[in-house]
Structure 1
Amino acid sequence: MSFESDFEKMTTAVKAAEDEIVMAAMFHETWKPAAFDEDLRARIGTSYAAHSFNIVRIALRREMILALMRVWDRSKEAVRMTAIAEKLKDERFFQDLVAKRAVRLGMAASGVEALLTEALDQKRQAVLSLVRKYAEGGPGHVAFKKIKALRDERLAHRQAVDASAARDDPDDKEVEAFYVDSLSVVTFLLSLVLAKAFDLNEAGDVYRHHAKFFWAGARGERTEGHPNYRKPTGE
């Protein structure tokens, strides 16, 4: 298969990864206050509104994990992060990628292609390191397996047999670390493959900022400030 054909496939995959990881960031940063903001949870309290609050919180978490795992799926129709990494390991492919970028930037004859190679290789190695982290034998593989099992058994599909006794669900720290690393790996790929400067961690900051304003007004009907609040009798 020619370089151009391989590069076109990788470009399509990286664009798809960008779409999915942006969705994951939207869901995750909107979910976090609902999970960890004690003032918000106190305002919701034990109210009728709390039921819908919990539905929204669960839905955001579910959709975040589904979007995140679509970046790492291995099926032929998916992004296939591991397949991208395997192709980037190919030195011939990488050198062709550098040459293509050099021509695009008008640097091919300027004697600075070696500097471009060094800069792009740093990003390539960062991608490969993060993918290895979650591959079998890597320090994050156990967490990855937990998140994948949660997606496979309870979110994307519902098993007829309850496997909860045997399943070890990921904790919030494991999911957060996987999320942050996924933002980083896609950020590196956008720069390496698409020559696109888009820091997805900064994008997460934007969605986090927006979420603060959204949740600031949320409260249950038993909390003063809610349109249906009624002061308890006897006060």
Structure 2
Amino acid sequence: MDSAKVIAEIEAQVNAAMDEASRAIAFHESWRPMAYDEELHKRMGNSFAAGTFVVIRQALRREMLLALLRVWDDQQKSLSLRRTFEALRIPAVLDALIEKRTKDRTGSKAFDKILAEHIAGSCTDYIKKAGDLFDKYWKKGEASHVMQHLHVLRNTMLAHNQLAPQRVKGKDARDDEIEAFYRDTRTIVECLLHAVHATALDMNDTQGVYETYARFFWESVRGESTPGHPSYRAPFDSTGVEQ
């Protein structure tokens, strides 16, 4: 086995996972106010503008789920967390990764030994944490039904339009389970970035950026039946008289 080649592949996989996870965050945090902001819902009201509001909400949710699932794809020529963890769980590959991380650090043999031990422990811990979360959703993991549901959803509604949609065996994934899956996927990517690239990325910071963008955007959004809309139209009461 060419460990250097395997590590290069792992590094590319982790970079791709970071890109998709960041994309999922952008879509999810832009969508969240549309799902949960009651004041925004009141401003939209029963308006013609609400029709496009619903279209945008559905599109953002769709793109978020597709980006999230691309992190978990398992095609030969695509990003594959399964292949990444299979490789990282091979002792020779892990040793080669740690050696690469510790190479040419200080030139002091005593300090380099201490540093190597620290990096080895840190790498192992991050890989185990990420691997445990991966196992939770993969195949027979305790939350594998979430993955199964989302794959069926993608294949029948999001990416394809089948005439005879599949059914999920067992329970469907609820919104709270999808939210947990979203956050666990972020944690997996963060841990892999630590272990493979020695990069400390807190995706809560990424979330905060897109939350701010979304807040400033959605604060100005309202339907035409709400005062402040450029095409404001006063609503009618039950008798058809303008209020």
Q: TM-score, normalised by structure 1?
A: 0.94
Mapping for residues 7-18 of structure 1, pairs under 5 Å: 7-18=7-18
Amino acid at match of 2:191: F
Aligned residue for 2:24?
Answer: 24
Aligned residue for 2:93?
Answer: 93
How many residues are aligned here?
Answer: 235
1:78-100, Cα deviation, whole Å (9 max, x unpaired) = 21011111111111111111111
- For residues 167 and 47 of structure 1, what CA distance do their matches in structure 2 show? 39
- Structure label with greater radius of gyration: 2
Q: TM-score, normalised by structure 2?
A: 0.91
The counterpart of 1:221, out of the listed 221, 224, 234, is 224
- For residues 148 and 107 of structure 1, what CA distance do their matches in structure 2 show? 50
1:150 alignment partner, SS class: helix
CA contact 2:145–2:170 (8 Å) conserved in 1? no
In 2 relative to 1, CA 154–107 (structure 1 residues): closer, same or farther, beyond 3 Å? farther
CA contact 2:156–2:165 (8 Å) conserved in 1? no
1:208 aligns with 2:211: yes
- For residues 65 and 234 of structure 1, what CA distance do their matches in structure 2 show? 42
1:77 aligns with 2:82: no
1:156-184, Cα deviation, whole Å (9 max, x unpaired) = 11111144697964321111011000111
- Structure 2 regions of 5+ residues with no counterpart? 236-240
- For residues 124 and 221 of structure 1, what CA distance do their matches in structure 2 show? 52
Larger displacement relative to structure 2 (190-199 or 68-77) = 190-199
CA contact 1:71–1:78 (8 Å) conserved in 2? no
- For residues 152 and 210 of structure 1, what CA distance do their matches in structure 2 show? 31
Identity %: 35
Amino acid at match of 1:201: N
The counterpart of 1:128, out of the listed 123, 128, 131, is 131
- For residues 38 and 80 of structure 1, what CA distance do their matches in structure 2 show? 38
1:96-142, Cα deviation, whole Å (9 max, x unpaired) = 11111001533783221112111111101111111111112212111
- Structure 1 regions of 5+ residues with no counterpart? none
Instruction: Tell me the CA shift for residue 12 of structure 1.
Output: 1.0
1:68 aligns with 2:62: no
